[in-house]
Amino acid sequence: MKTQDNITLENALHFDNTYTRELPADPESTNKVRQVINSCYSRVWPVKAGAPKLVACSREMAGEAGLSSELCESEEFVQVFSGNKVLSGMDPYAACYGGHQFGTWAGQLGDGRVINLGEIVNKEGRRWVLQLKGAGPTPYSRMGDGFAVLRSSVREFLCSEAMYHLGIPTTRALSLLTTGDHVIRDMFYNGNPQPEPGAIVCRTAPSFTRFGNFEILAWRGELDLLRRFTDYTIRTDFPHLGEPSKEVYGAWFDEVCRTTAEMIVHWLRTGFVHGVMNTDNMSVLGLTIDYGPYGWIEDYDPGWTPNTTDAQGRRYRFGNQAEIARWNLIQLANAIHPIIEEVKPLENALQTYSDHLRDTWQGMMAAKLGLAGFNKESDNELITDMQDLLQHVETDMTIFFRRLAALDVQGNDASISSSAYLIEHFSDAFYVTEQLNDEYRVRLRKWIDQYRLRLNHDRIPDDLRREKMNSVNPKYIFRNYIAQLAIDKAEQGDPSMVSELLEVLRNPYDEQPGKDELAKRRPEWARHRAGCAMLS
C-alpha cells in the first residue's frame, strides 16, 4: 500500500539486523518451550491478530523512526505492528536470557511474550530495535501464552512515553493496537479467569540487552559465547570505548554502573517505583525497561511497593531501589568476571556506582528544593528533616514540591511562617486532614523557617527559583488511578482518554489550562481499588 507521497513502510524503515546477523541462533526452528543452549535467540514469527485496530501512536517516536503521521494512520501500519505482516527487511526473533528474580536465580527466562521484528537505523544513524509485546508465544513463554491484554498494554504504552517526557532514561513505545481477539486472564489470581481484550505494544530502544543476557551464558559455562556477546554489545552499543579487551570490559562495566546510578536518581526525583527490579529487567544502557506493576509514590512512603507479589518482603520498595540496583550490578559483575579475570576493576566500578549515586542524588535534591547547589554542611539535615516531615502525615510528594515552589519565601512577611497559612497552602497535598495535629503544624512551620533561611544564602529571586524547581518537579505524573480510568474507557471501546493522557504527559512540567483534574492527588475511592494502588 502506498501513501500519497509514495512512501510505504517497506521503504521508510531501513533494517540492519546486527543481532541476528552477528550472534548465534537457536538451531531448532519449532516454536515450543525448551531450554536453548549455546544460542542468543530463537527465530519466531508473530501470531496473526484477528481484527487489529490502532489505538494510539507516539508521534515523537514515529518521527525518530522516520515515519510520517500519514504512514502511522495507514492500514499497512496496523498490519505490520499487529504482527500480521512481516516486511522483507525484518528478521523476527525472541532473545534468550536468564535472571535473578526477587534475589533468587531463576535460570532461563527470555522473551516470553516479546517478538523482536528487527533493528532499524534512522537517517541520523541512530539504531532502534522494534519489538512487539503480546504477539504470541515463543520458546521462552514457559507457562504463558505469549499474548497481552489491553489493561497492561495501555499502562506500558503510556508509561514509556510519560517517562521519556519526564526526562527519565527509558525504552520507548511506538504504537498501541487492539488485536480483536480475547485473552484469558485471572487478574486477581483467585481462580476466576475472564476473557479480556487483547492488545500489542510496539516497544523500541537502541538495545534491549539486559544483565540477564550475560548471566545465562556465565551460569551455563558458555564462556566463549559470553565473550562473543560482550564484544558484540560493546561494538554495537558502546563503540566509543574502543575495541573489546580486558581493559575495555572494565570501562564498559564502569559505564553501566554510572548510567544505572543516573537512572535510579531520576526514579527517586519523580517518585517512580519500578516494582520488579529483577536482573532480567535491568538494561545495560541504563534505561528503565519492562513496565509491569510499577507506580509513582503518592503519599511519600519509602516503604511502598506497587507490586502485590512483593507486598510481604517489599524488596523492591521505593526507598530500597538504589541498593537493589547495586545488588543487581554485583550479579552482572559476577557474570562477566570469567572474561575479565580480575576483581579490582569490578570493585572499582561498583564503588563508582555508590559515589556517583550519592553525588548525583545530592545535586538532584538541591535542584528539587531550588538551591543553587548542594551544601553538605547544611543540606543533609534540611533534606532529612523534610523527608521525616513528609512521612509524619500522608503527603503527596508530587504536589508538595509544586506547592513548595509556589511559596513566596523572600521578604519579611510573617504570615508565611504562620501554621494556618502553611496548612492552607499545602492543603492539596494532604490525604488525611485529621492527621494535621498541633505537633505536625509546629514541625511544618519550623521546617519552612529552616528552608527560608537556607534560601537566603543563595539569594535566588523567587520567580527564578520557582522556574528552576518546576523544571525538575513535575506537575503531572502517570498515577495508577488515572491509568485505570483510561483503561476502563478503552475496554469499553473508547480510547479518548488514552489520547488525552498521551497529550498531557508530553508536557509534565507545564501548567496546562483545563487539565488540573489530572494533577490532583489520588481520590479516596482509589485507595484500595484494583489497578489504582498496587498491581499484580
> Please, is 403 exposed, middle or buried when counting C-beta atoms within 10 Å of its C-beta (0-12, 13-18, 19+)?
middle
Dist CA 101 CA 141 (whole Å): 16
The helix (run of H) or strand (run of E) holding residue 11 is helix 9-12
Tell me the C-alpha distance between 366 and 196, whole Å. 46
Q: Which three cell numbers stand for residue 102?
A: 526477587
Helix (H) or strand (E) holding 70: helix 69-72
Cell readout for 468 is 528552576
Q: Quick check: 113 and 142 in contact, CB under 8 A?
A: no
Interaxial angle between packed helices 462-470 and 397-406, expressed in degrees from 0 to 180 and rounded to the nearest 10? 160
463 catalytic? Reply is no
Cα 181 to Cα 429: distance, rounded to the nearest angstrom: 42
Q: Residue with C-alpha cell 504536589? A: 399
Which position among 280, 290, 310, 396 bears the catalytic label? 280
170 DSSP β-pair partners? 288
Sign of the torsion angle spanned by Cα atoms 157, 317, 145, 21: positive
Q: Give strand pairing partners of 115.
A: 132
Torsion angle of the four alpha carbons 441, 444, 445, 450, in this order, in degrees rounded to the nearest 10 = 160
CA distances from 147 to 47, 132, 153, 409 (A): 9, 10, 10, 53
What is the rounded distance in angstroms from the CA atom of residue 260 to the CA atom of residue 329?
Answer: 9
Contact between residue 210 and residue 329 where contact means Cβ atoms under 8 Å apart: no
Give the three-class secondary structure for 204: strand
DSSP state of 95: E
Enzyme catalytic residues: 280
